[in-house]
Structure 1
Amino acid sequence: MQKNLMIEQLIEAHLQFLEQTFAQPNQVQSEFLSFYHWFTKQPLQQLWTFEQINTLIQKQILKTPASSFLIEQIVEHIKFALIHPSNDTATIADIIPVLTVDKIAQYVASKSGHRQRLIKTVVNSPAFSAMISQLIQHSIQDYLDNSVIAKTVPGVSRFMKMGKSVLENVTDTNLDNAVGKYLQKNILKLSQMSETVLNQHFDDQKLYHFQANLWHKIKGMPVSVLKNYIEVQDLPQTVGLGAEIWDFIRQSDYLKQQVHDAVYAWYIRNAARPFDLLLRDLNIDESLITAELQGLLNPVIQQMIGSEYLRERARHYLEQFYYAPETLKILAISE
């Protein structure tokens, strides 16, 4: 393309105008605020459809696996939080408000119906029945073998063992087997008794005081006590397992449908709302933009000007404009 002196002078003047304009901090802030005012008055449905939002979320979150670098960063951040020196001086009460703990205790204690259903489910499970049976059998055997009376009173230990032997000879069965059969026949009654005892022990008032007492025991402990329950060296493995679970769930039809319906419900509720209200839900308003914008954007603009990136990009489009046939015709310049 043959250069034209007048056009080159116009382009250079235009570039100098742009540089001088954007070099003024107030100008950048003014332009962005103008755009912000326009943008925030637009209703959601005027700019984006539900399909666009849902497709973006489905693609970027559900269809895209977490990168190995992101997983490594999560591990490092958790590790950093656990080994931070301030954990040795900060107590649990410093980071968890006592009033919130009390509200949680009251809430949990008040859910007697949920608690009773949970206890019923647990005590009627085969695993609980087996555990209770083994516990009773072991307790009986331990009593016979290690009773305080048997150890302190001469002859009692031999008498108890003899009684056990006689019983086994008369019934023609092993005592452990006899006890086991009895428990097996009466396990339903034992489960019902366990359910009654647990409900009595964990009534609303007792459960509330249990939680309150637990809080008073732990509130003064340093936050570093968490390291007793979380193995720092195992974080790569545990976080990796969590990533594997997420990787499986995100590809499931279940989560895809859940996300689709949740986004649709949110969109229907907010379609007619302008963006200033949507941004306000995220605590973003004009005062935040005004206070933070200049400090964030001005260094970027100044770097673009200093590196001549802005000049190069602007020249690219200005040349297309000034050397366009329509512009040349206006300027009365032949191609």
Structure 2
Amino acid sequence: MLTTNTQYNKLSITMTSKPMQTSKDNQNLDLETNTSTFTINNLIDAQVDFMQQWLRQQAEPLSMEAWQWFGAQPLNKYISRDNLQHLMSDWLLSQPMTAVMRKDIRDILHTVIYHPVNDNVPLSELVDDTQVETLANYVGSHEQQRNVLIHTLVGNETFADLLTQTLYHAINDFMESTLDKAGGVGKLMKLGRSSFEKATNRNLDEKLQAYLHRNIKDLTRRAEANAQAHLSNEEVARLLVTGWARIKEQPVSHLQTYLHDETDNSSIDHIEASIQQSYNRLRVSPYLHTLAVASIDTWYDNHQADTIATVAASLHIDEQAMTQFSTALLPVVHDALDSPWFVAHIREMLEAFYAQSHIKEGLALNNE
């Protein structure tokens, strides 16, 4: 039974194994029973210690029971389509990469690209021959796209003009150097050239360029036709496979020869800056936002009726993984339970609990 003494804020907890006492017996209660008296502060201290010990012992099973309960809940009970849309639009896509993240990307790229292990690993260990063959056959099978590419590279006007200018300069340089070395004959030929230009009212250089351009355009058309005829599906696939065979045994570090690693000229810095520029441009574009919304809708339609555990399992997060994760977090949980802030909050909660009037009355606490 519970009684109170005359001291402020004390709780007397009386424990007895005797039969119920009469009113006369109650007068001598303190003499006939074993009595333990606690102040509220003592009681709170004891409860805080007990809660810390109990939670420390039960942390792991409690976390697993919590996961089992949470995993059994349907996804759409706690996560809506709008929640995911806001997460994507208002948080992920609204934020640029931080300076810390950008530095981490640069450092990780540098570590991966220039790691010593790259000297001993051939490219064939990264890409299987069957993958190359599959890709080669896929590329080779797109005849229409290949013909468009050949026309773009060989049959366009820019290529013809470039080839014309190249040949013209080569011929002109050859003629000039030859005439200079020919002495009197060279001077005579230059005089003849000048007379020809006056008689025809046309510059010989222009006539030569027009002749080359006219004939080269015809040559490019023939080259385009020959390329399209020669580069069959099988030939394109064969060229790709042959090209891969030439380089597949080279070490991964061979890729470093195409990069610069100087402080003022770092290829990695350029790559990271390009990633940053592309990300900043895309994350604010209506195009990407439209695709993000459509992608979330598709995913949510597929999984809204699934449980949390089913969705987690698609990411290889199962009960075994959660057990390992829980075990790894135990030191953090134990440190948190022993931390001053946790003890202070528990004490504040218990003090507020015992300060309630109905609790005081129920425990017969003396407020004098």
TM-score (norm 2): 0.74
CA distance in 2, matches of 1:85, 1:98: 24
CA distance in 1, matches of 2:160, 2:236: 24
Contact 1:22 1:301 in 2 (8 A): no
| Aligned match of 2:284 | 251
CA distance in 2, matches of 1:324, 1:128: 90
| Aligned match of 2:24 | none
Aligned residues with identical type, % of pairs: 24
Q: Aligned-residue CA RMSD in angstroms? A: 3.4
Tell whether 2:214 aligns with 1:214. Answer: no
Contact 1:82 1:227 in 2 (8 A): yes
CA distance in 1, matches of 2:360, 2:126: 69
CA distance in 2, matches of 1:331, 1:316: 19
C-alpha distance 172-48 of structure 1, shift in aligned 2 (>3 A): same
2:93 to 38, 46, 62: 62
CA distance in 1, matches of 2:329, 2:348: 23
Contact 2:150 2:224 in 1 (8 A): yes
**Deviations along 1:114-155, whole A, 9 cap, x unmatched?**
2223333444544334334334545655787899xxxxxx9x
Contact 1:41 1:275 in 2 (8 A): yes
CA distance in 2, matches of 1:230, 1:112: 34
Contact 2:75 2:305 in 1 (8 A): yes
Letter of the aligned partner of 2:140 in structure 1? A
| Aligned match of 2:139 | 108
**Deviations along 1:279-315, whole A, 9 cap, x unmatched?**
1221111122224431x11111222234444323322
Contact 2:282 2:288 in 1 (8 A): yes
Structure 2 matches for 1:237-276, cutoff 5 A?
237-276=270-309
Structure 2 matches for 1:243-322, cutoff 5 A?
243-294=276-327, 296-322=328-354
Structure 2 matches for 1:1-335, cutoff 5 A?
6-24=39-57, 27-123=58-154, 125-138=156-169, 165=193, 173-182=202-211, 184=213, 189-233=218-262, 234=266, 235-294=268-327, 296-333=328-365
Q: CA deviation at 1:330?
A: 3.5
C-alpha distance 317-116 of structure 1, shift in aligned 2 (>3 A): farther
The alignment partner of 2:97 has SS state of: coil
The alignment partner of 1:232 has SS state of: coil
Q: CA deviation at 1:47?
A: 0.5
CA distance in 2, matches of 1:202, 1:330: 95
Q: CA deviation at 1:77?
A: 0.9
C-alpha distance 109-20 of structure 1, shift in aligned 2 (>3 A): same
Contact 2:9 2:366 in 1 (8 A): no
CA distance in 2, matches of 1:199, 1:239: 39
**Deviations along 1:176-198, whole A, 9 cap, x unmatched?**
42343345557765554343233
Gaps of 5+ in 2: 1-7, 11-37
C-alpha distance 276-139 of structure 1, shift in aligned 2 (>3 A): farther
Q: CA deviation at 1:14?
A: 2.5
CA distance in 1, matches of 2:51, 2:139: 64
C-alpha distance 50-186 of structure 1, shift in aligned 2 (>3 A): farther
CA distance in 1, matches of 2:122, 2:289: 41
Gaps of 5+ in 1: 148-153
Q: CA deviation at 1:172?
A: 5.3
TM-score (norm 1): 0.81
**Deviations along 1:51-96, whole A, 9 cap, x unmatched?**
1111122222211111111111111111111221111122212222
| Aligned match of 1:150 | none
Contact 1:72 1:236 in 2 (8 A): no
Q: Which has the larger radius of gyration?
A: 2
C-alpha distance 268-227 of structure 1, shift in aligned 2 (>3 A): same
Please say which of residues 195-204 and 134-143 is displaced more in the overlay: 134-143
CA distance in 1, matches of 2:212, 2:40: 102
Q: How many residues align?
A: 322
